């Protein structure tokens, strides 16, 4: 596994056990898979993402349309980084750990599918407006789209933090 993959997964190469036998996947989960600061980092990402989104809205209200496309790209970049960490460190750990708990595993899979759908919608929204640009004539349409995407993101973040993140912290 390369450096970048280890960084995203939070896992380091593990030596054999003291008795010389290789570590099992169960050992790796409990020794390296769980990250006690992961949830606080993901929540911090959420706050940053919502702050960036609010800044786009303020910029729109101030009529500074030229600044919005680059702000959207910055938002997309930050969102993609968050989603990578969430997929490789959070969801992978939950998926492996919940393999014997079908009810919670189903909940986690539903969340993961929903997030992928929302992420595609956000990326499509950003690409659309980055390409077409925002001006006085298109601002009402952009505002409508921005409010819809923002509401989806906010609702998703709230549900994730209230329902799914506590599931992870109970596994420590």
Is residue 165 a part of any domain in this protein? yes
Q: Which string of DSSP letters, residue by residue, matches 61-102?
A: HTT-GGGHHHHHHHHHHHHHHHHHHIIIIIIHHHHHHTTT-H
Is residue 83 a part of any domain in this protein? yes
Rounded Cα–Cα distance for residues 161 and 147 (Å): 21
Is residue 112 a part of any domain in this protein? yes
Is residue 14 a part of any domain in this protein? no
Q: How many domains does the chain have?
A: 1
CB 159 within 8 A of CB 23: no
Domain CATH number, residue 128: 1.20.120
Is residue 31 a part of any domain in this protein? no
The pLDDT of residue 146 is: 97
The pLDDT of residue 7 is: 35
CB 56 within 8 A of CB 71: yes
Is residue 28 a part of any domain in this protein? no
The pLDDT of residue 48 is: 97
Is residue 17 a part of any domain in this protein? no
Is residue 32 a part of any domain in this protein? no
Per-residue pLDDT for the chain (172 aa), expressed as one digit of tens each? Answer: 433 333 343 433 333 433 444 434 344 334 348 899 999 999 999 999 999 999 999 999 999 999 999 999 999 999 999 999 998 899 989 888 888 899 888 888 888 898 889 999 999 999 999 999 999 999 999 999 999 999 999 999 999 999 889 989 988 7
- The structure's pTM equals 0.77
Domain that holds residue 65: 41-169
């Amino acid at each position: 596994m390369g450096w970048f993959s280890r960084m995203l997964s939070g896992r380091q190469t593990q030596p054999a056990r003291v008795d010389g036998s290789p570590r099992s996947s169960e050992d790796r989960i409990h020794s390296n898979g769980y990250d006690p600061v992961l949830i606080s980092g993901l929540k911090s990402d959420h706050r940053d993402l919502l702050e960036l989104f609010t800044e786009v809205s303020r910029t729109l209200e101030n009529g500074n349309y030229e600044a919005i496309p680059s702000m959207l790209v910055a938002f997309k970049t930050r969102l993609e980084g968050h989603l990578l960490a969430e997929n490789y460190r959070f969801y992978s750990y939950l998926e492996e750990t919940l393999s014997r708990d079908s009810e919670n595993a189903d909940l986690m899979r539903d969340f993961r599918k929903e997030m992928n759908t929302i992420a595609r919608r956000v990326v499509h929204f950003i690409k659309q407006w980055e390409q077409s640009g925002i001006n006085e004539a298109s601002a009402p349409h952009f505002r409508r789209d921005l409010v819809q995407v923002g509401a989806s993101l906010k609702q998703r973040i709230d549900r994730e933090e209230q329902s799914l993140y506590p599931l992870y912290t109970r596994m420590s």
